[in-house]
Chain A
């Protein structure tokens, strides 16, 4: 298989999914609203103490981003599964794993990228500024694609399974733990003045690892679901 046809396949999938998402903009907006609401609830629950908010800020924002990604996971494959497009994709000569990368990339653009773009605003709510705020954005930029990659495995595993919404959370959340630790850790260590580089590079390592492993697992799960 030539490299260009692989990129063509990925590009084609991304274009198609983005076009579909543009037609249903409210879907994409929902995970962003969810993030904003969850992040706003914490100060109301914990209290307006700026010092406390600064301490819990990175963790809260990361957990909120994680949940926002989780909520949007059912959109990755379900529509294609129900109308039979997924079955056609399996038959395409391109490896299924490559097509999965395209689907995940589109999912990230729709539900991960808005989170990244919105995060500076939410960071301000929690009293983050300067370098930690930048590290927060950077950590989400590196971490949210990993969340989409890992989440796709869970989304494919529960295709057409009863109670799939809760089940996918139970499957995927344990797998999100390392990303959460490194992501929130990067911001925390930047606030402590150590600099977030070490955690950010570990986040990058997670991204590379998930980029190599997750598409294969997802492709296997899709094949199993379609049997």
Chain B
């Protein structure tokens, strides 16, 4: 282990800005992608369910 302290770890030998921007950007992109997919799935299923159940209204009406 080469880090003397927590602040040492975040400083990354003076390159903290570059290193952490890279890692945080990657993490954000991945989280955003998963969330976007989640929302897309919820929307698609809601639409599908509406079509499945809503179709009955036309036949009964």
Instruction: Note whether A and B contact each other (Cβ less than 8 A).
Output: no
- Chain A residues with a Cβ under 8 A of chain B: none
